[in-house]
Amino acid sequence: MDGENNVNGNDALDIENEGSFDGRDIGRYPSEFSERNMTYTEPLLTKRTNTTSQIAIVGANLCPIESLDYEIFENEIFKQDWRSRKRIQIFQYLTLKWGFALLIGLGTGLAGFLSNISVENIAGFKLLLTTNLMYKHRYFEAFLAYAGINIGLAAAAGALCAFIAPAAAGSGIPEVKAYLNGVDAHSILAPSTLFVKICGSILGVSAGFVVGKEGPMVHTGACIASLLGQGGSRKYHLTWSWLRYFKNDRDRRDMITCGAAAGVAAAFRAPVGGVLFALEEAASWWRSALLWRTFFTTAVVAIVLRVGIQYCTLGRCGLFGEGGLIMYDVGGVRVTYSVEDIVGVLLLGAIGGILGSIYNYLVDKVIRMYSIINEKGPGYKITLVIAIALLTSCCSFGLPWFAKCLPCPADSTVSCPTDHKSGNYKSFQCPPGYYNDLASLFQTTNDDAIRNLFSPRTTKEFNISSLVVFFAAVYFLGICTYGIAIPSGLFIPVILAGAAYGRLAGRLFESVTKLDTGLFALLGAASFLGGTMRMTVSLCVILLELTNDLLLLPLVMLVLLVSKSVADSFNKGVYDQILKIKGLPYLEAHAEPYMRNLIARDVVSGPLITFSGIERVGNILHALRTTGHNGFPVIDEPPFTDAPELCGLVLRSHLLVLLKGKNFSKERVFIRRNMLQRISALDFAKAGSGKGIKLEDLDILEEEMDMYVDLHPITNASPYTVVETMSLAKAAILFRQLGLRHMCVVPKSQTRPPVVGILTRHDFMPEHIFGLYPDIKPHRWTE
């Protein structure tokens, strides 16, 4: 476990990994938590002193959640390695960066294409079997086949998540956001998580759940990028000397950002939207060079998908392999609008924002309830998955029976009723020449249902009553489904409910507006996305790339702005709420208003644990054994300096490497030259998916305990520091924007010790601050 809380240099939060809504989920945000030297339960009456940051959520199994070292650790070993690099090595480094971006695009594009083809064929054969039985009037057998296949697929997806990779359950976008923010939750990017994410998503979507594969695709892209960024494996002798450049959190973060953007591009065939999604929603840190590589990665994804779709047009992708990735065409509609239409769009956006905020509220409650069930074990997880699968099957098969059969339109350009395929005119139980409009939405894949709702120039295709029933069913099924132990994205359920709501509004407004009902469906989906996700620019571009019509830009922008503004007055976005439920210590982009009333000194506490520049081995071992701190200030003292001065900061992982190498001396003297010849920067590279050196791996003899080790070569001589009187709000913004793990607090007076404490992620968490100062009132206003 890693820990680096506040002045102790301890930053890891032992918070339960609720990231997958697996058995370790408890569904309660840690308003109560205990620390090794203190326990506090809200509210506290006085400021309390804490010395560690081990946080335990009541009733949960614990796993360590560490912060990531995004800061460049400029010690003497790093500087020597950098100075020794030749031009060819720098060229290799840059070439590999672009090469990895290419591989991430290829891998994510192929994963997205294969996932889509698999869903099309598995779900297609299920629906074909059901349709054939319905044609023969064997209705009960049709239901048994439909529900049985759904339950079997759902149970398989639940078993994969329950037994192999619990971290693969859920969307995955909150975990990727947290990682790019600096939080390394347990197993979120492991190979097993990647495998279960892909297979479980295929099974879950094919099982007819009201879920999408878009969120899981973001997680899949991040996992692929993480595997490529491991820098090889020493355990399996796969380490290549060139790959050593990527054995650090900073380069891995850039690659995972490319992977997240590639996931969106693969899900929606929206390369520009993928880049903007990574910039607006996923990444907490950005720079221009990363923009270029991310754009290149998403362009590769777009090319891979285009090649795959052309390949499928030749009939090589199975019976249902030509469904393609979700691509909606409302471009054939002439977009002209008047003042009355603008008023209708504003109303559509406002109601969509309200419905989206209610959706988020109910999702929050359902996740908390499910987590109580999930924490009881894998059996309960799978049972819950099967129960929701049965509920979904009953709704999808049973509700169309309440719809009236409609006569096929005389001017239809497609076959009616649709014969053995997905389409707008499902026969279901209707006689020849009639179709069941509700079955056209339920007895199909989610992607095809959205295509049907978005279809232009079909105003009377769906009855108002059918749209009401479908909207209500999808709205609540989407809420009930999210939180079970399967990979489940939120984009498609939200788009599906929003499209039904928008088409319903189009039918209700058809007497006062000239906008097409298919366009209303698109705007309704946009309003729901804005009300739940709270994104604007990236969603706008994604929707435009899906529809391929720039004439929709003003209306989509307007509805997104209105829905987001309305929803923000009620609660946060759905991903922010999930981050909170999971207990992931996410740092917001803005500082909370109450932080302006505090200074950096107010949230640090003691005692402070420091090392001398040349420290006794026994003292280092004692500090490592008795604390979970990750960073320790190093102070030079007389006789080496005239007065105590801050030399820098040393990491626990670097200390373990140094102690394992036994670079000791019997006298308290500088030995940095000898040390630089015996060790290299590669020795201090971060381990990949394997584990690094642990304290138990050290074999320090008794006579070596009284020896000394020179910490200067591994000490970061340029740590970020702030004066103790700096506003906590200002310190929080600096901490997040610079991607720090430690921030040293130095005294205002030179007569005091050179360091007052260390600010870490934990110190900026509201729970910590409110625990110290319970009288502070949080405000809703943010910058």
* pLDDT over 80 (residue 331): no
* Residue 709 CB burial class (10 angstroms; 0-12, 13-18, ≥19): buried
Tell me what the pLDDT averaged over the chain comes to: 83
pLDDT tens digits, one per residue of 713-727: 889 989 999 999 999
* pLDDT over 80 (residue 42): no
Query: Can you give the CATH number for the domain in which 648 is found?
Result: 3.10.580.10
Domain boundary among 561, 581, 601: 581
Q: DSSP readout, 64-116? A: -BEE---S----HHHHHHHHH--HHHHHHHHHHHHHHHHHHHHHHHHHHHHHH
SS3 631: strand
Instruction: Answer whether residue 11 is part of any domain.
Output: no
Name the residue among 258, 259, 173, 256 with its Cα closest to residue 216: 173
**Amino acid 62: pLDDT:** 30
Higher pLDDT, residue 712 or 65: 712
pLDDT band of residue 445 (cuts 50, 70, 90) is: confident
- How many contiguous H segments (helices) and E segments (strands) does the chain have? 24, 14
Instruction: Decide if 510 contacts 487 (C-beta within 8 A).
Output: no
571 shares a domain with 480: yes
pLDDT band of residue 690 (cuts 50, 70, 90) is: low
Q: Which whole number is the average pLDDT over 481-506?
A: 93
C-alpha 459: how far from chain center:
38
242 shares a domain with 113: yes
Phi first, then psi: give them for residue 667, nearest 5 degrees.
-105, 155
Domain boundary among 552, 581, 610: 581
**Amino acid 352: pLDDT:** 95
pLDDT band of residue 648 (cuts 50, 70, 90) is: very high
Instruction: Answer whether residue 2 is part of any domain.
Output: no
* pLDDT over 60 (residue 458): yes
Instruction: Decide if 217 contacts 623 (C-beta within 8 A).
Output: no
230 shares a domain with 371: no
pLDDT tens digits, one per residue of 594-611: 999 899 999 987 678 899
**CA 741, CA 761: separation in Å to the nearest integer?**
7
Domain boundary among 581, 603, 638: 581
**30-47: b or e for each residue (b if 16 or more CB lie within 10 Å)?**
beebebbeeebeeeeeee
Name the residue among 482, 381, 389, 390 with its Cα closest to residue 166: 381
**Amino acid 510: pLDDT:** 81
pTM of this structure = 0.87
pLDDT band of residue 236 (cuts 50, 70, 90) is: low
CA angle centred on 200, ends 198 and 203, rounded to 5°: 110
**CA 110, CA 97: separation in Å to the nearest integer?**
20
Instruction: Answer whether residue 354 is part of any domain.
Output: yes
Instruction: Answer whether residue 485 is part of any domain.
Output: yes
* pLDDT over 70 (residue 109): yes
**Amino acid 53: pLDDT:** 34
**Amino acid 424: pLDDT:** 64
Instruction: Decide if 184 contacts 12 (C-beta within 8 A).
Output: no
Structural domain including 348 reads 339-581
* pLDDT over 90 (residue 532): yes
pLDDT tens digits, one per residue of 257-316: 999 999 999 998 899 999 999 999 999 988 888 999 999 999 999 999 989 888 887 777
Higher pLDDT, residue 355 or 92: 355
Query: Can you give the CATH number for the domain in which 132 is found?
Result: 1.10.3080.10
Q: Picking from 78-92, 362-376, 748-762, which range would have the lowest pLDDT averaged per residue?
A: 78-92
686 shares a domain with 611: yes
**Amino acid 36: pLDDT:** 28
Q: Which whole number is the average pLDDT over 124-141?
A: 89
Q: Which whole number is the average pLDDT over 83-101?
A: 86
Q: Picking from 134-138, 413-417, 425-429, 495-499, which range would have the lowest pLDDT averaged per residue?
A: 413-417
pLDDT tens digits, one per residue of 215-230: 899 999 999 998 888 7
Q: Is the dihedral of CA 625, 628, 632, 637 positive or negative?
A: negative
597 shares a domain with 576: no
Name the residue among 642, 609, 646, 647 with its Cα closest to residue 628: 609
Instruction: Answer whether residue 135 is part of any domain.
Output: yes
Q: Which whole number is the average pLDDT over 197-207?
A: 95
Instruction: Answer whether residue 545 is part of any domain.
Output: yes
CB neighbours of residue 459 within 10 Å: 13
272 shares a domain with 195: yes
**Amino acid 63: pLDDT:** 38
* pLDDT over 80 (residue 178): yes
pLDDT tens digits, one per residue of 394-437: 999 999 999 888 888 776 666 777 765 556 678 888 888 888 88
Instruction: Answer whether residue 82 is part of any domain.
Output: no
**Amino acid 606: pLDDT:** 66
* pLDDT over 80 (residue 29): no
pLDDT band of residue 38 (cuts 50, 70, 90) is: very low
Instruction: Answer whether residue 71 is part of any domain.
Output: no
C-alpha 720: how far from chain center:
28
Q: Which whole number is the average pLDDT over 23-34?
A: 29
* pLDDT over 90 (residue 362): yes
Give percent above pLDDT 90 in the chain: 45
pLDDT band of residue 783 (cuts 50, 70, 90) is: very low
**Amino acid 496: pLDDT:** 94
Count of domains for the chain: 3
Q: Picking from 63-67, 157-161, 540-544, 660-664, which range would have the lowest pLDDT averaged per residue?
A: 63-67
187 shares a domain with 108: yes
Q: DSSP readout, 572-605? A: --HHHHHHHHHT--PPPSS--GGGGG-BGGGG--
466 shares a domain with 424: yes
Q: Which whole number is the average pLDDT over 139-144?
A: 94
Higher pLDDT, residue 55 or 272: 272
**Amino acid 389: pLDDT:** 96
Q: Picking from 187-196, 225-234, 383-392, which range would have the lowest pLDDT averaged per residue?
A: 225-234
412 shares a domain with 303: no
pLDDT tens digits, one per residue of 294-309: 999 999 999 999 898 8
Higher pLDDT, residue 88 or 494: 494
524 shares a domain with 394: yes
**Amino acid 698: pLDDT:** 85
555 shares a domain with 410: yes
Q: DSSP readout, 517-565? A: HHHHHHHHHHHHHHHHT---HHHHHHHHHHHT-GGGHHHHHHHHHHHHH
Range of 115-124, 376-385, 607-616 with top mean pLDDT: 376-385
Phi first, then psi: give them for residue 387, nearest 5 degrees.
-60, -45
Give percent above pLDDT 70 in the chain: 84
381 shares a domain with 308: no
